Amino acid sequence: GESVGLHLPTLSVQEGDNSIINCAYSNSASDYFIWYKQESGKGPQFIIDIRSNMDKRQGQRVTVLLNKTVKHLSLQIAATQPGDSAVYFCAENSSGYSTLTFGKGTMLLVSP
Amino acid sequence: DGGITQSPKYLFRKEGQNVTLSCEQNLNHDAMYWYRQDPGQGLRLIYYSQIVNDFQKGDIAEGYSVSREKKESFPLTVTSAQKNPTAFYLCASRADKRPINEKLFFGSGTQLSVL
């Protein structure tokens, strides 16, 4: 079936490094993608989204890249801080569908 | 939490008991969702509703029930038929502007445990 998944379950980085979290999707009809951050015991927080008519979108310290050819999505976090430690989920949606499909998540651990 | 309130934060269920989780939103969103999250896992869809008085089953609806009598409220009942209810439950909502996709806003979650 269609699915969204992540390559790396855990990513450990040093404070100040740049972090890259990857996500693969298999539904070629997906046209909307979102990244969420979830801290322990809390609900997911929206980070950034991108539509399929774009390859790149930048926010504050974050960049999302979309490669539709290989169905790959990535989240780049610049100058990673300890407060960035959390689980990061990607999710995808197809136009006309009412529900998002979530990946399993990647744990980002930032060491001081 | 983006205007979505879940209560209680922690809930305990006894054997054979039904419990209800509350979800209220003041974002004027049409669509509301319930997800279940097990430790170290992603989010699995239980039920969703796109309009008042209508709802659809998600991937893991068995043992759960919902109602949507008001636009701002979407309570989830975990029935005694759900044999493994211990999990973190997340409610979410979004504006329904199909075919344009919009992001979900999540509540802060309810941790349900079995006594």
Provide the number of CB pairs (under 8 Å) joining chain A to chain B: 58
List for chain B the helix, strand, coil content (%; round to 5): 0, 50, 50
Q: What is the pLDDT of residues A76-103, one digit of tens each?
A: 999 999 999 999 999 998 876 778 889 8
The larger pLDDT score, comparing residue A7 to residue A107, is at A107
Do B105 and A98 lie within an 8 Å CB cutoff? Answer: no
- Radius of gyration for the alpha carbons in chain A, expressed in angstroms and rounded: 13
Are B23 and B34 within 8 A, CB to CB? yes
B5 touching A (Cβ < 8 Å) = no
Mind listing the pLDDT tens digit for each residue in B9-23? 999 998 889 999 999
CA distances from A95 to A52, A53, B36, B56 (A): 11, 13, 24, 18
Sheet containing B4-7: order of strands: B4-7, B19-25, B76-78, B64-66
Cα–Cα distance list, A11 to A21, A87, B97 (Å)? 8, 10, 35
Which tokens is B54 given? Answer: 């209508």
Task: Round to whole Å and give the CA distance between A61 and B3.
Answer: 25
Record: contact A95-B103, CB cut-off 8 A = no
Chain segment B56-110, per-residue pLDDT in tens: 999 999 999 999 999 999 999 999 999 899 999 999 999 877 767 788 999 999 9
Chain A partners of B43 at a C-beta cutoff of 8 Å?
Answer: 44, 89, 102
**A56/B contact by beta carbon, under 8 A:** no
Query: Which residue of B42, B48, B88 is in closest CB contact with A99?
Result: B48
Residues A92 and A4: beta-carbon distance below 8 Å:
yes
Q: What is the pLDDT of residue B76?
A: 98
Q: Scanning the structure block, which residue is given the tokens 């939490």?
A: B1
- Residues of chain B with Cβ-Cβ distance to A44 below 8 Å are 43, 90, 104, 106
